[in-house]
Amino acid sequence: MSFVSIQNLQKSYGASAVFNDINCEIGRGEFVTLLGPSGCGKSTLLRCIAGLTAVDSGRILLDGQDLVPQSPQKRGIGMVFQSYALFPNMSVEQNVAFGLRMQKIKGQDSRPRVLEALRMVELQDFASRYPHQLSGGQCQRVALARSLVTRPRVLLLDEPLSALDARIRKHLREQIRQIQRELGLTTIFVTHDQEEALTMSDRIFLMNQGRIVQSGDAESLYTAPVDAFAAGFIGNYNLLDAQSASRLLQRTVNSRLAIRPEAIALSLEGEREGLVRSHSLLGNVIRYRIEARGVELVVDVLNRSAADLHADGERVSLSIDPTALCEVA
């Protein structure tokens, strides 16, 4: 039985629907991600689960109990915001202790729990600092400790890493995942960053225009996108209509095809049907733009050595892994 069950959830502002008929099931201790572009309804869905935004209809069951009629205070849900939302007038320790203070848990009982939460996010030495004395990454770790200290039944993370720089983002995402596993905490993470979603999640719900268009683990989402949107959003897929696909593969194809850029190999043997239009170095990967049989393709090749580099204007042969061809709607 699922721990969190969202059933037929609907929300609209006036005439415009934010999402329509959302259904999803989340298991106990699972880390799921709501992934999608801005405005797809993922943050609103998260706020509905938290009780910060009222739903129009539908049910949100947590351990079999409907949350919809309950106030945010009573739901037992922790949330981390993109803006950190730390209380500027309180020290780190006071911020983390706030939830316990609201539960009337006094000093000697609350302090060990606060220090334990701060130790978890490696900020035990910063207890007396104020939010304005911390970096963005530290602020977000305090926010995480603050939401963990009350031992929530579900943790919601609303784009918590978006405002941070790349290095800190990477470190914090590993730290969040580690803490989540340690505590076995059911977590719903919202992001528009596909890399974050793929690296952190047990399961991903891909959303677009208020609908969940695909769900599954990172592997299935990445290798088998169900439609053109999923293929475009999750990876840098080459999307070919049936006619182009038939011309490229020199056999009859009846539907649109999505081909991952790394599923195409380049060599100098054979027919050399492709022409290198341009290339760019992305660190460990070289991204080529190849024209073959009148079709423009993006091809990613591992950057092994400078000797393997194909120059612009060079003719190359293409071999496409047939298992990597995805038919999409």
Partner 1 sequence: MSRAESGPAGLYHRVVVYVLFVILLLPLAGTLLYSLSTSWSASLLPSGLTFKWYLALWSEPRFLAAFGQSLLVCVGALVLSVLLILPLLFVVHYHFPRLDALMNILILLPFAVPPVVSSVGLLQLYGSGPMAMVGTPWILIGCYFTVALPFMYRAITNNLQAINLRDLMDAAQLLGANTWQAAFLVVLPNLRKGLMVALLLSFSFLFGEFVFANLLVGTRYETLQVYLNNMRNSSGHFNSALVISYFLFVLVLTWAANRLNKDKT
* 135 binds partner 1 per the rule CB under 8 A: no
Positions 33 through 52 that interact with partner 1 (CB under 8 A): 50, 52
Q: Which of 44, 138, 150, 201 binds partner 1 (CB under 8 A)?
A: 150
Q: Which of 29, 72, 136, 232 binds partner 1 (CB under 8 A)?
A: 72
Across-strand partners of 290?
Answer: 276, 297
Q: Quote the least distance from Cβ 39 to partner 1, whole Å.
A: 18
Q: Quote the least distance from Cβ 161 to partner 1, whole Å.
A: 16
HSE, CB side, 13 Å, CA atoms: give it for residue 209.
2
The DSSP secondary structure of 44-88, one letter per residue, reads HHHHHHHTSS--SEEEEEETTEE-TTS-GGGS-EEEE-TT----T
Distance, CA of 92 to CA of 100 (rounded, Å)? 14
* 13 binds partner 1 per the rule CB under 8 A: no
Instruction: Give the binding range for partner 1 (CB under 8 A) out of 80-88, 186-194, 246-254, 307-315.
Output: 80-88
* 73 binds partner 1 per the rule CB under 8 A: yes
Which segments of 173-273 are extended strands (E)?
A: 186-191, 203-208, 211-216, 238-240, 256-259, 264-267
Instruction: Give the binding range for partner 1 (CB under 8 A) out of 6-14, 18-26, 144-152, 212-220.
Output: 144-152
- Annotate each residue in 197-236 with x if it binds partner 1 (CB under 8 A) or - if it does not, as one string: ----------------------------------------
State the virtual CA torsion across 162, 168, 169, 171 in degrees, nearest 10: -160
HSE, CB side, 13 Å, CA atoms: give it for residue 181.
9
* 77 binds partner 1 per the rule CB under 8 A: yes
Q: Which of 8, 57, 87, 241 binds partner 1 (CB under 8 A)?
A: 87
Residue among 134, 136, 127, 198 at smallest CA distance from 167: 136
* 103 binds partner 1 per the rule CB under 8 A: yes
* 144 binds partner 1 per the rule CB under 8 A: no
Q: Can you say how many angstroms the Cα of residue 75 is from the centroid of all Cα atoms in its chain?
A: 24
Longest CA span, the chain: 77
Is the Cβ of residue 91 or residue 124 nearer to partner 1 in the bound state? Answer: 91
Angle subtended at Cα 177 by Cα 173 and Cα 181, rounded to the nearest 5 degrees: 170
Q: Quote the least distance from Cβ 132 to partner 1, whole Å.
A: 8
Across-strand partners of 225?
Answer: none
* 83 binds partner 1 per the rule CB under 8 A: yes
Is the Cβ of residue 132 or residue 251 nearer to partner 1 in the bound state? Answer: 132
Q: Which of 19, 98, 205, 233 binds partner 1 (CB under 8 A)?
A: 98
Residues whose CB is less than 8 angstroms from the CB of residue 90 and which lie 6 or more positions away in sequence, other chains included? 98, 130, 131
Centre a 10 Å sphere on the Cβ of residue 109 and count the other Cβ atoms it contains. 11
Q: Quote the least distance from Cβ 268 to partner 1, whole Å.
A: 57
Is the Cβ of residue 120 or residue 263 nearer to partner 1 in the bound state? Answer: 120
**Residue entry with tokens 């609209």:** 12
Is the Cβ of residue 78 or residue 137 nearer to partner 1 in the bound state? Answer: 78
* 81 binds partner 1 per the rule CB under 8 A: yes
Positions 246 through 285 that interact with partner 1 (CB under 8 A): none
Distance, CA of 96 to CA of 110 (rounded, Å)? 10
Q: Where do contacts with partner 1 occur on this chain (CB under 8 A)?
A: 50, 52, 71-73, 75, 77-79, 81, 83, 85-89, 98-99, 102-103, 130, 132-133, 143, 146-147, 150
